[in-house]
Amino acid sequence: MTTTEQVSVGYIGLGNMGAPMAKRLLDRPGGLIVCDTRPEALEPFGKAGAKVTSSPREVAENADVISVTVLNDEQVRAVVTQLLDTARPGTVVAVHSTISDVTAVELADRCRAHGVDLIDAPVSGGAPGAHKGKLAVMVGASDDAFEKVREPFGHWAELVVHAGDVGAGTRMKLARNLLHFISFTAAAEAQRLAEAAGLDITELGKVVRHTDAITGGAGAIMLRDTTDALDETDNWYPIMTHVRDLGEKDLSLAIGLGERLDVALPLARLALTGLGPGLGVDSTVDKKEQP
């Protein structure tokens, strides 16, 4: 019987994310074959002892688990088409690219007809996380396929989450990135307010990064297992009520400052009425009575 440590791994796509992820598999038992269209990307892996190729078909001939980190849905489809020409039944194809969850499910159905498991396993942490081996990977897979990839994924990921069936990994990544980029937009709004107030926004950035490293940022309130409204007897109720009260006070003050400086703060106004319900408690602010 083949143990997970003996499973041979292939890696397709050696870009800013793929190369450092694949690098952490070089010393893993079971063998590594890497694939890229650029000879210069393959060269250091060949020197380190990995098998190298420019053909996804050759990867499928040599690997039990195949990681794919390419640009978009179209490239993923093209790679999967080639892999299915030679992939053995029982092969697991893990797509780390952020693609549509619909694409992931469609490709998984197509692969299943060949006895191949395609799973969606997008990652979070960016290139810095990839270089440090501290990525989070959100896996949409059957229980059997997840068990097969957990060990090799652990070489480049600090957190391996089984999100659910195929498609669930991508849906979790989209929810995570929704927060990420809304936060960026909110940061830009805060910078506009600070700049209008005559403040050094680079110093503001230092304060934000320092504080978020201590408090955990937005993730600090993501501890409940439901978004339903809280009952007053729930242990979370006084905590979230306290957070709401602080937030509504500070948001009201910021909106007031924005009005005096003629700076529009649309996200702040949305947050003022949405914070309480988002935390599971009622808002104390009437939309008609916003500052």
The Cα 7–Cα 32 span in angstroms is 10
The Cα 2–Cα 10 span in angstroms is 16
Beta bridge partners of 164: 140
Q: How many C-beta atoms lie closer than 10 Å to residue 242's C-beta?
A: 12
170 close to 120: Cβ distance less than 8 angstroms: yes
Beta bridge partners of 120: 95, 140
Residue count (the chain): 291
Start-to-end Cα distance in the chain: 68
Residue 107, classified by CB atoms within 10 Å of its CB into exposed (0-12), middle (13-18) or buried (19+), is buried
230 close to 280: Cβ distance less than 8 angstroms: yes
Residues with catalytic function: 173
The Cα 165–Cα 229 span in angstroms is 28
Instruction: Give whole-number Cα distances, 120 to 15, 22, 42, in Å.
Output: 19, 17, 24
